[in-house]
Amino acid sequence: ETGVTQSPTHLIKTRGQQVTLRCSSQSGHNTVSWYQQALGQGPQFIFQYYREEENGRGNFPPRFSGLQFPNYSSELNVNALELDDSALYLCASSGPSSLAYEQYFGPGTRLTVT
């Protein structure tokens, strides 16, 4: 069974740029959620995708957007990067082969905005 994978591991961007982060869900999972974890904080929910549609969204501005593909992998796009976007971005999957509330996380992408 393949776990959740994310790429890249680390990324450095300049303020105002755009970034795309990628996630492959665990096999058997059809739902992907994205979280932002700032230093010293718990993960904060950005949004969730199910059947290629956004299924819920946290308190993040529209410049945070996402996609889910037919194979259930997902992308997180952030436009007009700000310094405060520097964080660990976590992808989590869940689905019919697990209890719906149990989410399984990838290792994260560390984004630094300078």
Partner 1 sequence: DQQVKQNSPSLSVQEGRISILNCDYTNSMFDYFLWYKKYPAEGPTFLISISSIKDKNEDGRFTVFLNKSAKHLSLHIVPSQPGDSAVYFCAASTPDKLIFGTGTRLQVFP
- What end-to-end distance do the CA atoms of the chain give, in Å? 38
Q: Are 32 and 23 in contact (CB under 8 A)?
A: yes
Kindly indicate which of the ranges 13-21, 54-62, 64-72, 76-84 contains the residues binding partner 1, using the contact rule CB under 8 A: 54-62
Q: Which of 20, 30, 44, 73 binds partner 1 (CB under 8 A)?
A: 44
- Supply the minimum distance, in Å, between the C-beta of residue 91 and partner 1: 8
Q: Which of 29, 43, 66, 95 binds partner 1 (CB under 8 A)?
A: 43
Q: How many angstroms separate the CA atoms of 72 and 84, rounded?
A: 29
Kindly indicate which of the ranges 12-20, 61-69, 79-87, 96-104 contains the residues binding partner 1, using the contact rule CB under 8 A: 96-104
Other Cβ atoms less than 10 A from the Cβ of 90: the count is: 24
Q: Is 45 in the site for partner 1 (CB under 8 A)?
A: yes
> Residues 6 or more apart from 22 whose CB is under 8 A from it?
6, 7, 73, 74, 75
- Supply the minimum distance, in Å, between the C-beta of residue 31 and partner 1: 9
CA distances from 26 to 4, 71, 82 (A): 5, 11, 31
* Residues engaged in binding partner 1 (CB under 8 A): 4, 33, 35, 40-45, 48, 55-56, 58, 90, 92, 99, 101-108
